Structure 1
Amino acid sequence: MSRHFADLRAPEAAGLSPDAVAVLPIGSIEQHGPHLPLSTDLVVAETLARDAVDTFGDACDLWLLPALAYTKSNEHAWSPGTMWLSATTLLAVLDDLARCLATTPVRRLVFLNGHGGNSALLQVASRDIRLAHGLSTFVMHPSLPADHG
């Protein structure tokens, strides 16, 4: 069975457990030097999230949400190809996605962040989402141990 949230039918989404965990990979589209693709942060977040859900999904009731590629990367705006959202827009997008998730029984949302420039904003979004939508939210980073953020 697929653990990709987008593959569920509406009745299946309505039947998810409140103990389920939705995992949202968050990356960026920005320069990473002349040797790496613009999608590097997105690929890292998406691949790690997919591997975690594939490996631990059944045991931990994990569900992979479609990745969010466009985020807060204006520190790289000087470089051609960088695609970024303002802080206001990204906060609104994250709130909208959480509001939608809150219509299901799922009560846990993990932001798996592949771009360091998103870190502070994701912490703010997490607090706001907890208050507005009653979800337990977590920010994880591929390069940090779990007890460091």
Structure 2
Amino acid sequence: MALHLGRRQRSTTTEETPQRRLWPRRTEADDATKTVVVERKPSRWRRSRPNPISMMIMAAGWAAAAILALGMLLTWGEANPANTLVDATLDAGRWLATPFQDAFTRNDPKEQLYINWTIAGVVYYVLARALSWMTRF
């Protein structure tokens, strides 16, 4: 006879395991007296909760995209560049858009700014989204 360590012996009695149903069967009497709550699993991509690191990465991506969008709005609205808030926003936007500075060149400097800063904002958001997703698992 062989010795099996760590294994459980099967019982000879036949025990039926209950099946889990998404929607339990109801009888007419059950409908009137009690409410059945069914727990469902969330979809696959929502199962893992975001951790603080992934939330900070997404916040940084949103902040970069928001600064670039605000800078474009201030340029479009012809805000006073001598104002400290406008100047700080445009400086931050210029710094964020530095890698994309001459991605597209146009004769109109405003049009060039809109195109390059839009591309920069989209890239920062997509990059933050991907990094945030990777740090969840």
The TM tier, using the shorter chain, reads under 0.3
TM-score by length of 2: 0.26
Larger radius of gyration: 2
TM-score by length of 1: 0.24
Where is the strand percentage greater, Structure 1 or Structure 2?
Answer: 1
Where is the helix percentage greater, Structure 1 or Structure 2?
Answer: 2
